[in-house]
Amino acid sequence: MPLMTTKPMFDLAYDGGFAIGAFNVNNMELAQSIVDACVKESSPCILQISKGARKYANIRYLKAIIDAAVAENPTVPIAVHCDHGDTIDLIQTCINDGYTSVMIDGSHHPYEENVRLSAEAVKLAHANGVVVEAELGMLGGIEEDVVGMDAHEYEKNVEKFLTDPVEAADFAKRTGIDSLAVAIGTSHGAFKFKHEAKLAFDRIEQIMKTCPGLPLVMHGSSSVPQEFIDLVNKYGGAMPNAKGVPEDQIAMAVQKYGVCKVNIDTDLRLAMTAKIREVFATKPAEFDPRNYLGPAREAITGWCSGSCTC
């Protein structure tokens, strides 16, 4: 099965009350573990490549790894998505590189500039058979080049940063986007919240009413599994207050509301880091990368197996 867009995935997800997991890829082990998990779960797969990943790994290497995964697993529907593209030039480059889906993130711009930028991205992408995700509202936290609000400041003033349902309808109509990333109280990174997370389900419900049928996307949605935090801290790490989005709240957003895509990055990093730290601490003579990247890959596959679809 060749690479595909996310549209048929989202059509099934929207009607079926589930979401597709979208996982960030930076190297071979991440790509292998994500796809292996999706094979085990017979799940569609969205592989996300950020601007930071392009810089770190070189898109030629990443794309070759993904092409190998497609060839090795012909029954698994796979889409390649640009995560947080911030310029039209980057969107064009991603299209040229064979992406099937792109995100244009103009959420940090004034509303009218976000509309103009997103509409331009849609015009360019659709002409090449590529679908477009855009973002409206603002998240907290930091993810690579994406800098949101300070977590404490965000929690104190979260209402003012949430996606406006009326604006969302206007935005979708004027841009022609295929999916919308919404701000509903989630946050980027491992230290998402100072207190217990509470997503704005009423806001999602309002957006569903003003934008019927529009697939919604949750960014900043890693659950930050305690088992990996404990391993990181046990073996020399310093993440005492890491806190993610509770899995039951993610499930509710997906099953009851129109969320069709859930972005996961932090959890993958935590799983990899935790297992590598464990090997280094318990086997200090180990120097073969296969013997610490292998366990890291297995840990990611095991965790992703429960998160391919939500």
Query: Given 36, 83, 86, 178, which residue is catalytic?
Result: 83
Q: How many CA atoms lie within 13 A of 85 on its CB side?
A: 27
Backbone angles phi, psi at 176, to 5 degrees: 75, 25
Give residues with Cβ within 8 angstroms of 241, minimum separation 6: 191, 194
How far apart, in whole angstroms, are the C-alpha atoms of residue 121 and residue 300?
33
Catalytic annotation present for 288 = no
Burial class (CB in 10 A: 0-12, 13-18, 19+), 38: buried
Give residues with Cβ within 8 angstroms of 110, minimum separation 6: none
Query: Which position has the token pair 């980027």?
Result: 188
**Which residues carry out catalysis?**
83
